[in-house]
Amino acid sequence: MSPLFSVVIPLYNHERYVLEAVESVLAQTEVDFELIIVDDGSSDGSVDQLKELTDPRIRQFSQTNSGAHAALNRGIELAQGQWVAVLNSDDVFHPDRLKVARECLDKDPSLGAFFSSYDFIDEDSALIRSAEEIQEHWADPMASMSEEAGELLTGKEEVLLKLLGGNFLHSTSNLIIRREALEAIGAFSAYRYVHDYDFFLRLAVREKIVCERSALLQYRLHEENTLKEDAAESVYETGLVLIDFFSRNFLSVFLRDDLLFFEVYQYLYDALRGYGADRMLLTGLLARDSQDEGVDMASRLNGNPQTRAFLLNRLVAATALDAEQAELQWQKGQTEHWWKESVASTRRVEEGERELEWQREQTHHWWQEAGEREESREWQKKQTDIWWQRSEERAAQIWERDQSLNEKETELEEIRRSLEWQKEQTDNWWAESQKREAQIAADRRWLGMAGVVRMFRIQVSRVFR
């Protein structure tokens, strides 16, 4: 059964990066894919980096060095998936790239291709520029048009106009395309530097595409990037691509006699980029208009050695001049930046001096207050010593008073016990006194009776005498 996705990696001399690229594909959350790696005759250890790979979804192929477009076309021929994704051997997929693409493609079957935003990373995979920053660099046709004109513009026309303002899709690594659309558009052209831009322009004319705003791709910037090899050749190829495009295609919006015509013309006037091939594009189109409709002017220019040499010589000089102008512009910018920094630095020095003077005043004021506080602390210390001395004296007095009170309490306790003893003795004495008094009373009564008896006896004795 054919896989849903075929991921094609054209490999050439990326020994340092290729394994990370492959691993980013194998780490996809969408697992229904095959991975086709086509080595375009690498002369470093790129192929050796892949020897340990055992995933059954990987298929590896090699060919003699024929260019990136040839490796791409061969990989596409070998692909069996319904959708073909491309990843250059020095770039990196986000883990959800294929998953998000599948969701978009399932949602809208009319889509011919899927792209996304992308980040720039360096040799060590560190972020250089985020997708948000990159998007700000590209002109947006809709942003410069009125709402009425924007409603008249179709989705295909919007993407095409934006591409004419610059290759905002940026790289073949950003391409996921339906097989039917791929077959209708045709193979990648034999350009070394701009085969992606040529393909994207042909794609935008024919197919509906979607550009996901999420950053699902990391594009690596390093010293071996192909575009850094030959600036003049890159500009020359760009001129050929634009000549070919405008020779074969008409912008339908220019056939309309309404508000949209003017606003599109205005946008293209400001945004159209020839990348330095503007004169080549103009003269090529003029020559094309003088020829038969069937003439391929781009191929004719490129096929004529004298014309090619002439254009390259002019472009070398132009790109050198552009580089000089860019350098001068950079120096001008640096000078302006330096001047602004100098002015700002002078202001900062003045502000620093004012700040230093203020700090000096504040320090003097603080030191004065500190002296006053020191005197205040000395006074407080003396007062504290006095208070502490008085507290100690008071504590001694309280202790002495407490001692005196304790002694008095002891004495009172002894008196209380003595009084209780005396009371007890008094009570005992009183009880004994009561008993004694009762006894005396009894004795008195007895003595009274004894006297009566005695008197009675005396009287009786007198009688009987």
pLDDT tens digits, one per residue of 121-133: 999 999 999 998 8
| Tokens 């697992």, located at residue | 31
pLDDT for 92 beyond 60: yes
More confident residue, 289 or 5: 5
Q: What per-residue confidence (pLDDT) applies to 307?
A: 66
pLDDT tens digits, one per residue of 110-121: 999 999 999 999
| Tokens 């400001």, located at residue | 270
Query: Which range (30-44, 160-174, 271-285) has the least confidence?
Result: 271-285
Arithmetic mean of pLDDT, 381-402: 81
Conformation bin of residue 168: beta by default, left when phi > 0, alpha when psi is -120 to 50? alpha
Burial of 386 (0-12, 13-18, 19+ CB in 10 A): exposed
Arithmetic mean of pLDDT, 190-208: 91
pLDDT for 103 beyond 80: yes
pLDDT tens digits, one per residue of 355-389: 888 888 887 887 888 777 777 777 877 887 887 88
Tell me how far apart the alpha carbons of residues 19 and 46 are, in angstroms, rounded to a whole number: 9
Arithmetic mean of pLDDT, 306-323: 63
More confident residue, 459 or 172: 172
| Tokens 């030191």, located at residue | 367
Tell me how far apart the alpha carbons of residues 130 and 95 are, in angstroms, rounded to a whole number: 17
pLDDT for 436 beyond 70: yes
pLDDT for 200 beyond 90: yes
Q: What per-residue confidence (pLDDT) applies to 378?
A: 79
Tell me how far apart the alpha carbons of residues 174 and 192 are, in angstroms, rounded to a whole number: 17
Indicate yes or no: pTM above 0.75. no
Query: Which range (76-90, 195-209, 278-292, 447-461) has the least confidence?
Result: 278-292
pLDDT tens digits, one per residue of 337-349: 677 777 777 777 7
Query: Which range (1-10, 99-108, 128-137, 245-254) has the least confidence?
Result: 245-254
Virtual torsion, Cα 399, 404, 409, 411, nearest 10 deg: 150
Q: What per-residue confidence (pLDDT) applies to 254?
A: 61
pLDDT for 262 beyond 60: yes
| Tokens 């948000």, located at residue | 132
The amino acid that residue 39 corresponds to is: D
Arithmetic mean of pLDDT, 241-261: 71
Q: What per-residue confidence (pLDDT) applies to 114?
A: 96
pLDDT range class, residue 404, cuts 50, 70, 90 = confident
pLDDT range class, residue 327, cuts 50, 70, 90 = low
- Quote the distance between the C-alpha of residue 65 and its chain's center: 41
**Are residues 11 and 25 in contact, defined by beta-carbon separation less than 8 angstroms?**
no
pLDDT range class, residue 47, cuts 50, 70, 90 = very high
**E strands of 88-201, at which residues?**
92-93, 113-121, 127-129, 176-178
Q: What per-residue confidence (pLDDT) applies to 400?
A: 81
465 membership: H or E segment, kind and range: none
More confident residue, 463 or 220: 220
Can you say whether the dihedral through the CA atoms of 179, 182, 183, 188 is positive or negative?
Answer: negative
More confident residue, 296 or 210: 210
**Bridge partners for 247 per DSSP:** none
Q: What per-residue confidence (pLDDT) applies to 403?
A: 81
State in words which class domain 5-226 has.
alpha beta
Q: What per-residue confidence (pLDDT) applies to 324?
A: 54
Name the average pLDDT for the chain.
82
More confident residue, 68 or 339: 68
More confident residue, 289 or 159: 159
Tell me whether strands 83-86 and 176-178 are parallel, antiparallel or unpaired: antiparallel
Q: What per-residue confidence (pLDDT) applies to 259?
A: 66
The amino acid that residue 215 corresponds to is: A
Q: What per-residue confidence (pLDDT) applies to 258?
A: 63
pLDDT exceeding 90 applies to what percent of the chain?
36
pLDDT for 321 beyond 60: no
**In whole angstroms, how far apart are CA 267 and each of 149, 245, 396?**
12, 18, 101
Nearest by Cα to 32 from 3, 1, 2 = 3
